[in-house]
Amino acid sequence: MEPRILSRGTGQLTAVGGARRSAMIIDVSRSGVQIELDEPIEVATSIELQLQELKVLGAVGNCRLHVNGRYRVGIRTGEVIDPVRN
């Protein structure tokens, strides 16, 4: 198990073939990001997560009902694009 770093902030999640949604960032690790959404998203869905200047490409690893009708979603990171460094 990798260490997770608690995080605060929001991003914009776009599922391949889907609409853009607001996502609250919960924590990050070397291989993933945990976010919170208002609606569930199917496991294995390819996603793009825009975080200020960074863009994270990956896939949904898990999605579960959390509290207040919100969903915790684990994203497996495939690639991180940082236009400042590229």
CATH code, domain with 68: 2.40.10.220
Is residue 86 domain-resident? no
HSE of 3 in the Cβ direction (CA atoms, 13 Å)?
A: 1
So what's the pLDDT on residue 34?
97
- Report the domain count for the chain: 1
Is residue 24 domain-resident? yes
Predicted TM-score of the model (pTM): 0.90
Tokens representing residue 25 in the block = 């960032």
Which residues constitute the domain of residue 20?
5-79
Q: For 29-65, what is each residue's pLDDT tens digit?
A: 989 999 999 999 999 999 999 998 899 999 999 999 9
Q: Which residues contact 68 (CB under 8 A, 6 or more apart)?
A: none
Nearest alpha carbon to residue 51 among 20, 74, 23: 23
CB 43 within 8 A of CB 29: no
